[in-house]
Structure 1
C-alpha cells in the first residue's frame, strides 16, 4: 500500500498517473489523502482508496497510514504561517503517525542545500531541510527529493510574458543554476516508491539536464515562443513589500526572500550533475509543451 499526499498538485498528479500505470504490475494498492475528492477524475477515484481531509491533521494521517508500506510526502505551501510552522508544524502529526504505524518507506519533496554553508539561512529551504530531519527520525527509510527551482514557477509569469515580454526574479541575470520539471520529480518519486529495496536516510538530487541562467531562459523562451522575452531582476525589498501587501505572513515572505538570496549566492550549485542526478526534460521541450500554450491562451 502506497499513500500519496497532495495527489491533485503539480507533482502529485503526475506521480499518481505514473503509479496507476505501474501499480498493477507490482501488485500495489494506492491510497490518497485529498481535501476535495471531486478534484480527482472519476477514473482515478474508482482505482484508489480516498481519505478525505488535510494531511496536516493528526486524525487524517492516522487513518491514512494504517497498513501503509510507503508514503509520498509533500507539504503544500501555506503563506499564512511562518516557515517552520508551514513545514515542521504541518509535518509533526504525520511523523507521529509514521512511527506509530511502522511505515517502512517515505519519499518527501525537499530542496537542495543540505550540508552547505548557506543551508542555515535559506528561508523556506532551511525549513524544508528541518522537515527532512523530522521524517528521518520516524524510523522509516527516508529519501528527500532534493530539488532546485521548478520550470513550472514560470507559469506564474505567463501573463507578463504574454503582455509585456518580461519575466522577473531576484537572482543575477547570469547566475546559472539547475532547474527541473515537476514531471521529472514525480518520475523519480514513483521509482523509489515502487522499488523499496533502499534503507536508511539520504537525499536524492533531481537536477534537470543542465544549469541555466535567467538570460539563458529568456533566450530559449524567445526561440520557443517566437516573440522577444527578456529578464528583469527584481530587488528583494520590492518583492518583500509586494508580497506582504498581498496579505502573506511577514515571516513566510522573509523566508521567500532569504531563499532567493541564498540561491543567488549559489545555494543550488553544490551538487554535481551525474547520470543519476540529471533528469530528462529540457527547458526547450517544457517551453514548447507547457509554457507556450499557457502564454498563447
Structure 2
C-alpha cells in the first residue's frame, strides 16, 4: 500500500465509508461513481493509483495494493460501513479455482479482522451448484467461505452471463467472417450488460437491506440465443448474413489459448459452455421487476458496433 493511502485511511478513521474492490473495472468503477454522486464516502481499491485517479478527482479515497495481501485488505476494510467484494478473474492463471480461493480467503480474513458488518459479494448465477460449472466453481467456494462468517450480513449478487463476453467475437468476425463459440446456437439463456449491475449493488449497499446470508439474482432484460444475438449484431454492423457457428471443444480451446487464456481456464470455460448447453446453469428465482434489468441485446448491439468499428 502507498504511504499516502495509509495516511488517508487513518485520517478518516471510523467514518461511514463504502469500500469498493476492483474499482477500475467495468462494475467497480461505475459503482464508485454512483456512490460518489449520492454524496457517499468511497474508498476505491486497486493496483494502480494512475487508473484510480479519475475517481480520486471526484473525491474518492484510494487504497492501492494487492488483494493477495490480507493485511492490506484488512487495513483497507477498517472503518468501512459496507464492502463491495469482487475477485477480478485472471484468465492466465494455471489454477483458476485455487487462485479464486486464495483471494477469497484473504477477503474473509479481512472482513473478520476489520469488523465490517455488511458485505456485498459479486458472484454468479450457477454458484448454487457444486460441480460442472467451470469458472463459477471458484465463486461458489468463496460464497461458502463467506457464509461461515458469524455476525456479518452477506448479500451474494448473482448476475448471469455478461453481454461484454460477446465482444470476443469482434476479432473473429474480422478474421473469420463469422461469430462462434462452444455454446449451441439455439439455446436461450439470460444475458446482462455489466452497466446494469452497479446500480443494483449501490442500492443494496446504501440501504443495507440485506441480513444474514442473502441472494439476489440478476437476469438481464430477457433470455436470448446466440442465433438471435448474431442476427442482431450482423444487422447493426452491416453484415445481415452474418453466421454463428458452434465450435468443437478442441477448436474452442485453441482459439482461447491463442488469445492468451491458460489451458486450465480454457477447460473451465468449456465446462461452463457445456453447462449452458445442457441447461445446467438455470436461474433459481422467478423473473421479476427486481431481477430484470433494462439493457436489451439490441441496445448492447450499438456498443458492439462501436467496438467493431474502431477495432
Common fold: TM-score over 0.5: yes
What root-mean-square deviation, in Å, do the aligned CA atoms of Structure 1 and Structure 2 show? 1.9
2:96 pairs with 1:83: yes
Instruction: Find the counterpart in structure 1 of residue 278 from structure 2.
Output: 265
2:154 pairs with 1:138: no
Instruction: Find the counterpart in structure 1 of residue 82 from structure 2.
Output: 70
Give the TM-score, by structure 1 length: 0.91
The one of 268, 281, 297 equivalent to 1:255 is 268
Residues 65 and 98 of structure 1 are in contact (CA less than 8 Å); yes or no, is this contact kept in structure 2? yes
- In the TM superposition, what is the alpha-carbon distance from 1:41 to its structure 2 partner? 3.8
Instruction: Find the counterpart in structure 1 of residue 14 from structure 2.
Output: none
Structure 1 consecutive aligned stretches of length 4 or more whose deviation exceeds 6 Å? none
2:247 pairs with 1:231: no
2:306 pairs with 1:285: no
After superposition, what is the alpha-carbon deviation per residue over 1:73-120, rounded to whole angstroms, capped at 9, x for unaligned?
11111132313212111111111110112211111111112445xx41
Instruction: Find the counterpart in structure 2 of residue 7 from structure 1.
Output: 23
Instruction: Find the counterpart in structure 1 of residue 124 from structure 2.
Output: 111
Give the TM-score, by structure 2 length: 0.87
- In the TM superposition, what is the alpha-carbon distance from 1:270 to its structure 2 partner? 3.3
2:47 pairs with 1:35: yes
- In the TM superposition, what is the alpha-carbon distance from 1:44 to its structure 2 partner? 3.2
2:187 pairs with 1:178: no
Residues 217 and 283 of structure 2 are in contact (CA less than 8 Å); yes or no, is this contact kept in structure 1? no
Residues 36 and 58 of structure 2 are in contact (CA less than 8 Å); yes or no, is this contact kept in structure 1? no
Higher relative contact order (CA 8 A, sep 6+): 1
- In the TM superposition, what is the alpha-carbon distance from 1:293 to its structure 2 partner? 0.8
2:51 pairs with 1:51: no
State the aligned residue count: 290
The one of 209, 216, 221 equivalent to 1:197 is 209
* More divergent stretch after superposition (95-104 vs 106-115): 106-115
- In the TM superposition, what is the alpha-carbon distance from 1:217 to its structure 2 partner? 0.3
